[in-house]
Structure formats: structure tokens, C-alpha cells
Structure 1
């Protein structure tokens, strides 16, 4: 069984595990990571409960929206929603949990600790969520229904993630108190509770971090040679980003969308051995009755067309062969006329190449050009034409939506950081990170996995998630840096912010990368490619861009990073 319906059936079968296998794998991976990070059997359960609570609320709201026919749900949208909510809710929960643990060191009362943790968490979490929501809602500008539906659906998921992390999690942590961190309960220690000490004058007269630990070492490394670090890091990223030009995102054959076995793909190959590749999926041409002969001539003159027929309901086969090579009507075809409806007749052009191939799409382009010379009102449709229009619309969406997302996120960062220069630099680093992820993905897809290409929407979705989610880690870092800078000065604030947020942001990045990587269990090429791009890009943002590039660049620029309000902050 092959043809358009056969490929659709294979896709539906591929999505069957999306609400069981996908969710189970994602939750299991996140639980293991949290267990390693917290070394506590209690806290991972509370964080996962928060994520499941957020997902349940999101599913309920999306169900209501779909019931009211305000959004359209597909397997693709459903899978991305599940992964996005689990990953985002866990990230926000990690940020609050880190703040709550620090607050328990400074406050004996868990109520006071909860208030302090919320004060330090609300702004960066809301700002982070707002950037993701803003990026997702830009998908409403798309002309494709599948892209447009993902925007509001995923935005609902982010809203529920924020609410769960700022209401449900604080409530259960307040109820469990220090016991949530068992067996390593944080003890009240107001004097020694400050885990980071920055010396005002270290080597070379600049501030440096005193203490042990990985992130204290990273902060000292950044303070020693900030300019060399950000220049070298940027150079390496730019070199890898250069391979993004090899990313093939002009579309793939429908037969390649399902990874593994596909009866429809096997059937199409068998069909092509004996018949024209486009048999069963002809190009459909709607022609004014008076232009039938001229249209038939134009179709026959188009390279790549095997034969042409006109729809005739009185014919035993439903069609009537036409054109120069068509036999004269005889026998049961005698006296049969083309079926006319509202002044139009329908031609069916069987293409020589498989209906989902690039060659068939080129034939449709030529058909449209030749037929427009006959009558600009002639329409060419069918499976191939639909694929062609979808790909071209995806490319147009990419060109329009990506600049809009960058502008919106930059404005949000300006409001959060009360600065113009810092947001611009942060967005530029995130864009470089995205193209680096795209370049590495091109190398992996082309030379390791040997994939035939990618759908044009893959870079768009990758950009939306990487820029919106990647900027999260910069928000988590720079909001804390600004908070510390107001008290300790800019360069000391950078070192303190990096040291204090290093562990939690790295953990959040690993969790989010793992949840998106879980998409690879669904045997659909689009989801597997998106899983790799986002997972690799998130790790790149969390481990390299946020840990080295941004702190070193910010440290090198100094107080001017807060321009135009930089004079309000100590150097």
C-alpha cells in the first residue's frame, strides 16, 4: 500500500509512542540527572512532580482550546509540547531550588527562606519565560497551519511551567523544609552562608574569587585572561558556524520522513520499476473549458510529464486520455465528453518522477509557468504541488520570523537588564551559538548519519527553541550578575554571578538537552533532527557560551556593559 494515504499511515504509526514512550523516556532521563545533581532521593521527585503538574495543566488548557477549534493539534505539536514543558518546568524549578537552598543558609525560618527565594527567582524566571513565549508567538506570523498552531500551544506550556515553578514547587518545598535536601540538609549559617568571597584586589589589581570548587576555578580563569578567552571562544564558534552553509534544508522526499521500515516507501519503489514514478499521485490542473486544448498542449510540452488525461465521470475509468498520442474515443469511450463544473475541467498529469521528489517539484514549477502563459487563472495542485508550496512557504516563514524573534527578545532583555549594550551582545552570542549548532548538525547529518536533507521548518524550529531557550541561561546569569554588581561592583559581580549560578545553569542545560534528545525515540526524521540540533545547541549555550564567552566578554567590557545606565553601578 503506497501513495499519499500510505505515507500518512506510516507517519501516524511513527507518532504512536509519543504519549507513552516519549514521555516515559524524558521523565526517566531527567530523574537520573536530578538524582546525580542533588544526591537526594526526595528533591528529584518534587521537581518531577512540578513538571508533571505543569504538563497536566497545559494539556487541559490545550484540550479546551482545541475543543473550541482555536488551535489544531498534531503529533508533531503534541511531542514538542511534552518535551518543552518537562524541560522548561524542570529548568525553572532548578533555579528556584538553588535560591531556596541558599536562603535556608541565611534564614532559620523556612517561611523567610521561601520569601527570599521567590524574590530572587520571580524576575529571571518570568523574564526567561517571556522570551520563550515571545519567540513562540512569532510563529503566528507563519502561513503554515502546523507552525502557527505550535506557537499558542507551546506558549500555554511555558505559562504553566512558570506558574508551577513559582507556586506548586515553593509550596511543597515549604512543606518539606530542609528535609527535601536529605541527606545533605542545608544548615542555618548566617555568617558562613555566603559561599562566594571575592577579593577586591587580586593579581594585577583586579578582583578575583577565593575558595574551592569548579565554578570558583572557572571564575578565576575568566578573571585572569578575559579578552583572550572571549576572542578564542568566538573564533572557534565562528569557524564551526561556517559549516551551516552545508545544512540542506530545501525539503526532503515524503518517503524519507519515516525512519526505519515503511511499506509506503517500499511500494513506491516497486511502483517506479513498472510504471511512471508519479502514478497514483498525478498533478491536478483546473482549466477553463474554452482553454482545454491549449492547456493540454502546454502540459504535453512540459518535460517530466508522462501522460495527461481529462476527468470524465461517464468514462469507465473516470478519465479520458487526451493529447497527440491519445487514441481516438472508441468502444465504451465513444461519445464520452470531459466533465465540466462551473466552467472548469480537470486535467490529471502523470509525472515521470516520484510525486515527492525534487524532480517532480521542478516539473510542477515548469507546468505552472507554461500554463500561466495560456491563462493566468489555471491552477495546478496535487500531492507534488502541495509539497512544493509547503516548502516554499516554510522558507518564506524562516526569512520573516527569525528577524522578528531577534527584535522581540532584544527588547525584553533591555527591559530586564536596564541596558542597551548588554542585550545586544547577549543576543549576538546566542545567534553565533545557533549557527554553530547548525554547522555541527550539518556535519553530523551529512557525513555521519547520511541523511538526505531536512525540512525547511527544521532550522526555523531550531532557531526558535535555541535562541529563546539559550537566552534563558544568559538571563539567569546576567540577572544575578546585575544583582551582585549593584552591591559589589561590575567585575566582582560578574565573578560572583558566574560562581553562584554555574552549577544550577549547567544542570538546567543538561536536563533540557536530555529532554529534547528524548525526541529521537520517535522514528520521524524531523523530530530526530530537531532533537540533535536543540540538544547540542543547549549544551553549547550552557557549557561554553554562558560559562566562558559571556562572562569573559562582560568582564572585559566592564561597567560599560550596562550602558546607558552604567554610571549607577560601581566599576
Structure 2
């Protein structure tokens, strides 16, 4: 009892540290609480641009609709300066507006003359630009451009923290009430998960301060999802085992010790696999993806620590009454009822090859939907609800069809300025080029492409200019989006094999087999392809999305492989226990499914529901990622894990444990520790 109180007091102190203002409030600008560093693209481009003092940054574009001749001059608001960093940002409007052919729309490019690294300063400047522009009566003024888009995206990320947390807590609470059917028990794992979430904030803040770990609003949202989703999964497994032990062991403390010995290894192995898979994202070049790896690992490990320390201590302190009204009395037997998963396992065991072939065909057909995935998501299409910046960009696209509305920036050596201008003017994809400022041996040029922003024509122009001007640096919003797409493609080629290899090695060490780990890895890869294919079938026709996030494939793969193998470990670990106890392969597979199926199903529902919370967020990339992962978890829980892995294990027989000892001869019954029953007679309940 004293140990329980000590654990509780210690966790209260850790949670208070995690929620302290420096760790979860003062660091936030783009997400819930931590700044995301810029993506490391074209470092030479950034170095050369910083060497050009006063170099303009074409970041905004005023779209003025009305009679062009009546447009008055746009005034200059005073510059803004950050009191914390000392950086400033000022107003550098272009020489004049560009009228559309219909004479009713004027495009007025605006650029900042400061470094623009302070994102709060940037957002404030965007609002200042909007105030000045709207002060002109009789005209319709919209502020667009990359700077305005970034400011609107920042507002969305800032608004995610509260709704995301409250919605996640609400969804998990409802599911726990339905699973436990108790007015008290559901609250215990939920509060423990909340404490783990607070702690993860503090740990992530420490990583950011100590190692400069990059964390975005997207990755902080994923950390919250993982803490509540994975933490609740571990709680379901522990509480289920603890409930059963209370019927066989009189003292709650001793029952918890037996429960931890029984499910602890599987929970540790599964959480370690998830953490290792997420940590493989450190091999990515893209900072947003790379930062999501350590942050996801922090979320999983904080949830694991809380569920294996604070949750057991709390349950022991509360005693049997926490299960009221379904209190497991000492010496009682659970109500006999036919398990749904027993029936499902029996159907898979009768015709394993038929079930396996049918499931493989179904997953393959769903995977064909990846051919219908929309193209790469453009920056202005990344909002679920269209803000003013997107409206401005679409107005400009209609008023200036087939013409670039945001400049391509070229930084060239000052001694080659004239030659560079001549080379750009001779390019067939360039509409205009304007000389900018010069400093420290560099000159900035603004290039207007003939193609629309982020179109195939503009992309071809950027790539051609890079080939034609090897001594210059080509940048700007469209060039950055192109580099992001290329970097995501590179990350997929590098990270995916590392994830598969690391997960496979962990499974081999845990299961002492080669065939069973390969079976689990192939199963989760098939689930990923099928869920991505379902996304391809609904993103455009149902959700109306214009594209898919370039990082969707990589992030969904990492999460689904790690989390899918997580459930596979629960099933295969129990199957191995049954085989070690002397059960035949088919009986071991069916018993493992019957005893763990309820827990896995409950955990899968909770995890899918927590990721489905992202469907209510305001950014397309979060909606797409949440949808693919939620669908994948459901497929893995109710199709792959229940039918395909079970039927494959039955069909393979002892070969599933090759080359281990279990593949050659059955193991005899093993002696059980006092207070435990043989695995084949144990029943795991979730209700």
C-alpha cells in the first residue's frame, strides 16, 4: 500500500512539471507548444540569401477587385520589430500593380524587407497588411501569397491543441464506459493517460531545448493521439489480466504482481517495437518527419511508463470496488458465454487456405485504389475550410489564367547578374524578370513564370532554370514545394526499409522464429497498402480534396507498421505460450485468438477512434493521415489479425515457428508459477 502512495505522489510531481508554463505554453507558435524549425532545403540558397542585406521576400499578394483606374496608392504601415529577437519586418511594396486583362482585378505584389524568421511577427505583419489594404473603401481586397497562407496555417495549428485534446478524451471516455460498463473504472486509465500526456509535454520540451528536436503542430497532435491511444491499449490489456487474477488471488497487490508478470513482457515488447519503428524517422531529411519520430517515441514511452507504474498503483489502492458493479469476487468464476472470436477463429480454422486466399484478394483489390490517389497537395488546397488567403489565390488564378502569381526567386553572384538575366529572359517558360537588391557579392532576381503556381509548366521551368544556372540558387514558394516533394520521395526510399528491418529483427528476437515475424510484417504492409487504397477511393469523390500530402505515404506506413505489429505481438506471443504448453499448432492459434481477441478488438477500436479525431481538424494533411491510419487499424484488427494471421498460422502448422525448437517437436507442458493457471485454461475478458 505504501508503494502505491509513493508512486502516486511521484507521478503527481512529474505531471505538474510536465504542465508547467515554460514546457507547454511559451514555446508554441505553430502547433500546441513547440516551434518547428525550417525544412533543411537548399542550404546554399539560404546562405546566399542571408548574405544579401535587405533582400526582399515576395511573400504576400494583394488581390484588389474593382475598377483598376480608381485604385489609390497603398500606404505603408510602420515596420514591426520583435522585442524578443530584435528582428524586424517592414513593408516593401512593388513598383506598381499588375492589371488583369478584364480590367477588374489588380495584382499588387508585396514583400517584406526583414528576415521574417519570427513567426508571431510574420503573422502580425500579415494582419497589418490586411488592415491597410481594407482601409481603401469601395474595393474588394484579399490578401494571399505564401506569407498569408503560412499565417492562416499557423492559426489552424494554434487552434488544434484544445479541441484535439478534449475530443480525444471524450472519445476514449465513451469507449471505456462501453467496454468496462462501470461508472468508476473507465476514469482510472483515462486520468492516467492524461498524466502521461502532461509528462510527454515536458519531456518533448526538454528534447527541444537540449537537442533542438524539430516539432510541428502535426507531430504534437500525433503525440497526443499516441499517448491516449497506445496508453489506453496497454491499460486494457493490464486491467483485463488483473480482473482475472482477482478471481484467483485474494489480495489485490498479489493479483497485480501476477498480472504484471503475465502481460508485462508482451506490453514491453509491443511498446518497444512501436518506439523503435517511430525512431526510424530520424533517418528522414524532412525536419517535420524527423521530429515526429522522437516525439512519437516520447508519447509511447510515457504512456508505457504510466500504465505499468501509476495505473497498477492506483488500481491496487482502490481495490476490488473500482470494478463496481461487476466486482470480481475471490474464488468466483466468470460468466460462461460463447466468445465471438471463438466463432471467428473456428471459421478460419476450418478452411484456412480459403480464408487466406479470400482475404489476400480483398486486400489486393483495395490496394488498387492507390492508383486513384489525387496528385500532390498544393499549399492553397491544404485547408478544409477556405480562408481568405486561399480565396485570394483562386481569384488571382481566375484573373490571370496560365500565368504565375508568385515570383520565383533567383540568387546569383553579382558578377554574373547580366548573364543570368539574359539566360532567364531567353527561357520559354519565363514571362518577366525583375532585378532586386545586391549585397555581399549576391544579387536577387524575381522571376514570373508563364505557368500557374505549382503547375507542371512552372515545375518544368524551375527544374530547367536550375540546370541552366548551376551557379545560382533557385528558390521561392513553388521551388520549396518541389524540393519538399523530392525530399519526401527520398525519405520513403530510405526510411521504409529501415523500419521493416528494425521491426523484423525485434520480432525475430521476441518470437525466436523467422516465419512468424515475416508473416506479421507482410500482413501489416498489406494493411497499409489497402488502407491507402481506400483513401484513394474517397479523398477526391467523398472528401473533395484536391491532392494528397506528399508525406502521407511515409507517415502512414511507419504508424501502421509499428502499431499493427503491436497487436500482432499480443496474438503471436500468446500463441507461442500455448505451443510451449504442449498445444497443437491449430489449437494454439485458435486459443490465442479466443483469449486475446476481445482485448485486441477493444484496443483497436480505441486506437482507431483516437486517430479518427484528426478527421475533425482543419488541415487536409491531418484529415488524410488520420483517415488512413484509422482505417488501417480497423482492417488490421478485424480482418488481418483475426482471419488472415490465424488462418496462415493454422495452414503453416509448426512451420510458423521455423527454425526454432517448436517447429521440430511439440513442447511438453510447463510448470506454472503459484497462483497462475496454464495458458490454455486462462480466459481474458474485457467486459
Bin for the TM-score computed over the shorter chain: 0.7 to 0.9
Cα distance in structure 1, aligned partners of 2:201 and 2:666: 44
Aligned partner of 1:510 in structure 2 is 605
Aligned partner of 1:528 in structure 2 is 623
TM-score by length of 1: 0.88
Q: Is the Cα contact below 8 Å between 2:381 and 2:547 reproduced in 1?
A: no
Deviation at 1:278, TM superposition (A): 6.8
Deviates more, 1:409-418 or 1:294-303: 294-303
Residues 67-98 of structure 1, C-alpha deviation per residue, up to 9 Å, x if partnerless? Answer: 33521222111111111111010111111111
Aligned partner of 1:240 in structure 2 is 366
Cα distance in structure 1, aligned partners of 2:404 and 2:428: 16
Aligned partner of 1:558 in structure 2 is 653
Q: Which runs of 5+ in 1 are unaligned?
A: 196-210, 313-338
Residues 287-322 of structure 1, C-alpha deviation per residue, up to 9 Å, x if partnerless? Answer: 23343333222212323322001114xxxxxxxxxx
- The residue correspondences of 1:61-100 to structure 2 (distance < 5 A) are 61-100=203-242
Q: Is the Cα contact below 8 Å between 1:51 and 1:86 reproduced in 2?
A: yes
1:442 matched to 2:536: yes
Aligned partner of 2:297 in structure 1 is 155
Aligned partner of 2:318 in structure 1 is 176
Cα distance in structure 2, aligned partners of 1:569 and 1:123: 23
Query: Are residues 398 and 437 of structure 1, via their aligned partners in 2, closer, same or farther at CA, if it must alter by over 3 Å?
Result: same
Q: Is the Cα contact below 8 Å between 2:173 and 2:190 reproduced in 1?
A: yes
Q: Is the Cα contact below 8 Å between 1:276 and 1:351 reproduced in 2?
A: no
Q: Is the Cα contact below 8 Å between 2:182 and 2:326 reproduced in 1?
A: yes
Aligned pair partner of 2:461 in 340, 363, 377: 363
Aligned partner of 2:340 in structure 1 is 214
Deviation at 1:194, TM superposition (A): 11
Aligned partner of 1:567 in structure 2 is 664
Cα distance in structure 2, aligned partners of 1:455 and 1:38: 38
Higher relative contact order (CA 8 A, sep 6+): 1
Q: Is the Cα contact below 8 Å between 1:271 and 1:277 reproduced in 2?
A: no
Aligned partner of 1:256 in structure 2 is 381
Cα distance in structure 1, aligned partners of 2:587 and 2:649: 11
Cα distance in structure 1, aligned partners of 2:272 and 2:339: 33
Cα distance in structure 1, aligned partners of 2:588 and 2:247: 20
Aligned partner of 2:175 in structure 1 is 33
1:122 matched to 2:264: yes
Aligned pair partner of 1:231 in 357, 362, 365: 357
Deviation at 1:282, TM superposition (A): 1.4
Query: Are residues 114 and 194 of structure 1, via their aligned partners in 2, closer, same or farther at CA, if it must alter by over 3 Å?
Result: farther
Aligned partner of 2:449 in structure 1 is 351
Aligned partner of 2:568 in structure 1 is 474
- The residue correspondences of 1:130-529 to structure 2 (distance < 5 A) are 130-189=272-331, 192=333, 212-248=338-374, 251-274=376-399, 281-312=406-437, 339=438, 341-371=439-469, 376-489=470-583, 490-529=585-624
Query: Are residues 364 and 509 of structure 1, via their aligned partners in 2, closer, same or farther at CA, if it must alter by over 3 Å?
Result: same
Cα distance in structure 1, aligned partners of 2:519 and 2:628: 23
Cα distance in structure 1, aligned partners of 2:335 and 2:561: 33
Q: Is the Cα contact below 8 Å between 1:253 and 1:357 reproduced in 2?
A: no
- Which aligned runs of 4 or more in structure 1 are off by greater than 4 angstroms? 192-195, 273-280
Aligned partner of 2:55 in structure 1 is none
Aligned partner of 1:13 in structure 2 is 155
Aligned partner of 1:549 in structure 2 is 644
Query: Are residues 228 and 365 of structure 1, via their aligned partners in 2, closer, same or farther at CA, if it must alter by over 3 Å?
Result: same
Residues 479-508 of structure 1, C-alpha deviation per residue, up to 9 Å, x if partnerless? Answer: 111112211423222111111111110000
Q: Is the Cα contact below 8 Å between 2:405 and 2:452 reproduced in 1?
A: no
Deviation at 1:354, TM superposition (A): 4.2
Aligned partner of 1:200 in structure 2 is none
Query: Are residues 472 and 118 of structure 1, via their aligned partners in 2, closer, same or farther at CA, if it must alter by over 3 Å?
Result: same
Residues 430-469 of structure 1, C-alpha deviation per residue, up to 9 Å, x if partnerless? Answer: 1111101111110011322232121210111100111100
Cα distance in structure 2, aligned partners of 1:34 and 1:168: 18
Cα distance in structure 2, aligned partners of 1:437 and 1:128: 22
Cα distance in structure 1, aligned partners of 2:315 and 2:402: 62
TM-score by length of 2: 0.73
Cα distance in structure 2, aligned partners of 1:516 and 1:103: 32
Residues 161-184 of structure 1, C-alpha deviation per residue, up to 9 Å, x if partnerless? Answer: 111111111111112222222111
Aligned partner of 1:208 in structure 2 is none
**SS at the partner of 1:456?**
coil
Cα distance in structure 2, aligned partners of 1:435 and 1:408: 20
Aligned partner of 2:678 in structure 1 is none
Cα distance in structure 1, aligned partners of 2:426 and 2:272: 55
Number of aligned residue pairs: 523
Aligned partner of 2:20 in structure 1 is none
Deviation at 1:357, TM superposition (A): 3.9
Q: Which runs of 5+ in 2 are unaligned?
A: 1-142, 669-687
**SS at the partner of 1:20?**
helix
**SS at the partner of 1:532?**
helix
Cα distance in structure 1, aligned partners of 2:403 and 2:330: 74
Q: Is the Cα contact below 8 Å between 1:137 and 1:152 reproduced in 2?
A: yes
Query: Are residues 496 and 105 of structure 1, via their aligned partners in 2, closer, same or farther at CA, if it must alter by over 3 Å?
Result: farther
Q: Is the Cα contact below 8 Å between 1:454 and 1:526 reproduced in 2?
A: yes
Q: Give the aligned CA root-mean-square deviation in angstroms.
A: 1.9
Q: Which has the higher helix share?
A: 1
**SS at the partner of 2:410?**
strand
**SS at the partner of 1:446?**
coil
Cα distance in structure 2, aligned partners of 1:290 and 1:461: 44
